[in-house]
Amino acid sequence: MNKDISSICVIGLGYIGLPTASLLGTKGYDVTGVDVSQEIVDTINEGKIHIVEPDLDILVKSAVNSGNLRASLAPVKADIFIIAVPTPFKENHIPDLSYIEQASKAIAPFIEPGNLVILESTSPVGTTEEHVANILKEAGHDIDNEIYIAHCPERVLPGRILIELVQNDRIVGGINQKSTQMAAAFYKEFVSGKVLETNARTAELSKLTENSFRDVNIAFANELSLICDKEGIDVWDLISLANRHPRVNILQPGPGVGGHCIAVDPWFIIDRTPQEARLIKTAREVNDSKPNWVINKISEKAAKFKNPIIACLGLAFKADLDDLRESPAVEIATKLHQLNIGEIIVCEPNILKHPSFNLNSVEDAVKKADIIVVLVDHKEFKSLSASKLSEKIVIDTRGILK
Ligand code: SAJ
């Protein structure tokens, strides 16, 4: 631990802020985590967590019990401020930077000369300079000489957050050289991967590029699934064969792309450079249209029954998580329900209740259903035996029941 830095204030206690705050707490820093939700603040102060992520409960409990982590509704003075708030989009896929702006305004009165402010939230190019730095400048801080501001995008994969938080390489880009150096020195204290230095704008675009790369590649797989369906070819066989080529590595098709990152971040590039980002936009459209394609497939099968029971297996945006944000599975189940083509029953082993659906166990859902639709590759579904499915119509959007 760097002796010059002892206190850290983390703004936003979600999927990134909470793991980061608790990791830093267990490394010996004095950490205050800030969130707008009283419920979240109370939960964390009891040493508990409000999200599902492997081992996070143990880390939070240990950081809180050691006295190094506490949650609060308001920021406090600190050596380093880390902003880890959401960056969703508004209508027409316009980035919504209001959470970043609110967080910057909230910490402004607590910042002192020598402090470092790090924006970890995924952000459109220019956000660190034009929003965070500008707000702090307007609040009276000397951003050129007295305080330091940098962007260090989070790059962790939900489900592997605690491992990747430490092991992944980090990209650090300051609004000036000194800010970059200060931020890089901080991450080197707890990251075992490389800490790579650049400027704020390149760091911003780098994060967006990584997620757009994945989106474009998933779109390729999803497009192949449509082509294979027309040609009567098994897309998973096709991909595993093509991937035997030493320079081919195709991702997996699915019911669409969900989550708060890959389905969102490419729009931050498209919004600023729409003429240039043609491939990135098309990929978004291919992936966003996949849920409707799945719904049409289910409707075709349902039309052969009088009032079929359709079991949707999974609501989360990907395997073995409770995260339903931007989930294509939720979109499909909701639209199927509205279409009135049968009785829709839902199974999601990672959540206890859902506002729109009564949840069934896997066994009940499979037993009752005429049509089974696999929407998420949860471990509970992978082990379904062929004998239980033999009488059913199965639409497997993840290719796990082969
Ligand atoms: N998906 C497919 N086929 C695939 C891979 C994924 O359909 O072959 C779907 C998933 O089911 C899911 C969506 O894509 O609906 C996104 O899942 P994901 O596992 O690809 O990514 P996320 O959103 O969980 O995390 C991504 C990661 N980015 C990259 O791998 C480039 C992670 O490292 C980032 O930190 C995270 O976004 C983020 O926070 O930006």
Q: Where are the beta strands (DSSP E) in 126-228?
A: 148-151, 170-174, 195-199
pLDDT at 53 exceeding the cut of 90: no
Residue nearest to atom 28 of ligand 1 (CA): 211
Which residues are annotated as catalytic?
A: 207, 261
Least confident among 20-34, 237-251, 387-401: 387-401
Counted residue by residue, the chain has a size of 402
Q: How many A from CA of 234 to the centre of ligand 1? A: 23
Rounded distance between C-alpha atoms, residue 136 and residue 179, angstroms: 14
Rounded distance between C-alpha atoms, residue 204 and residue 171, angstroms: 9
**pLDDT for the residue numbered 224:** 98
Q: Is the pTM of this model over 0.85?
A: yes
Decide: helix, strand or coil at residue 113: coil
pLDDT at 402 exceeding the cut of 80: no
Could you identify the residue written with the tokens 């650090």? 172
Q: Identify the H or E element spanning 295.
A: helix 278-302
Q: For 320-358, write each residue's pLDDT tens digit.
A: 988 999 999 999 999 999 999 999 999 999 999 999 999
CB half-sphere exposure, 125, CA atoms < 13 A: 14
Q: Where are the beta strands (DSSP E) in 272-327?
A: 309-313
Best CA proximity match to 373, nearest among 356, 355, 391, 393: 393
Tell me how many degrees the CA angle 81-158-96 measures, rounded to the nearest 5: 55
Residue nearest to atom 35 of ligand 1 (CA): 155
pLDDT at 102 exceeding the cut of 80: yes
Q: For 279-330, write each residue's pLDDT tens digit.
A: 999 999 999 999 999 999 999 999 999 999 999 999 999 999 889 999 999 9
Strand order in 170-174's β-sheet? 69-72, 30-34, 7-11, 80-83, 116-119, 148-151, 170-174, 195-199
In the structure, what pLDDT confidence band is assigned to residue 388 with cuts at 50, 70 and 90?
confident
CB of 375 within 6 A of ligand 1: the answer is: no
3-state SS of 312-376 is: EECCCCCCCCCCCCCCHHHHHHHHHHHHCCCEEEEECCCCCCCCCCCECCHHHHHHHCCEEEECC
346: left (phi over 0), alpha (psi -120 to 50) or beta: beta
**pLDDT for the residue numbered 77:** 98
What is the token pair recorded at 244?
């035997």
Decide: helix, strand or coil at residue 398: coil
What is the token pair recorded at 306?
């009088």
CB of 127 within 6 A of ligand 1: the answer is: no
390 versus 83: the higher-pLDDT residue is 83
Best CA proximity match to 377, nearest among 301, 309, 310, 313: 313
Q: Ligand 1: which of 204, 235, 257 to mutate, judged by most atoms within 8 Å of the beta carbon?
A: 257
